[in-house]
Amino acid sequence: MIPGSKGRHPSFKRGLLFALQGARQAFAQEANLRRMAIAAVLTVVAGLFVGLDVVSWALVLACIGAVLTTELINTAIETVVDLVSPEFHPMAGKAKDIAAAASCCISITAALIGLLIFSRARSEEHTS
C-alpha cells in the first residue's frame, strides 16, 4: 500500500508517475543503467541504418527491454539489501552478486542475439 493512499489503489496515472520517478532515480544513481541505455540507443540507430525487418526489430526491442528491466530489478534488489543489511553480511553479498549475475547473463544473451541479427542483416545487405 502506498503511504497516503487511504486504503485505495493508486490510479494508473499516479502509478505511472511513481514508476517514472523510480526510473529517474535509477538512471541518476546507476552508471551501468546509463551505459545500457546508451547501448540501446546506439543499437536502435544501427538498426535504422541497416534497415532491420519487423521480426529483427521485435527481437532487438525485446532484448533492450529485457536488459533494461533486469538492470532495474538488480538495482531494486541491491537497494533493498542495503536497507536491510547496511553492514556487510555474506548472505547480503550473495544476493547482490546473484542479482548482478542475472543482469550480466541477459546482457550477454542480448549481445549474442544482436550479433546474429546484425550479421544476418549485413550479409543480406551485401547479397542484394
Catalytic positions: 71
Contact 102/74 with Cβ under 8 angstroms?
A: yes
Inter-CA distances, 69 with 36, 65, 102, Å: 11, 6, 11
Exposure on the CB side of residue 72, measured as CA atoms within 13 A: 16
> Please, what is the Cα angle at 104 between 69 and 120, to 5 degrees?
85
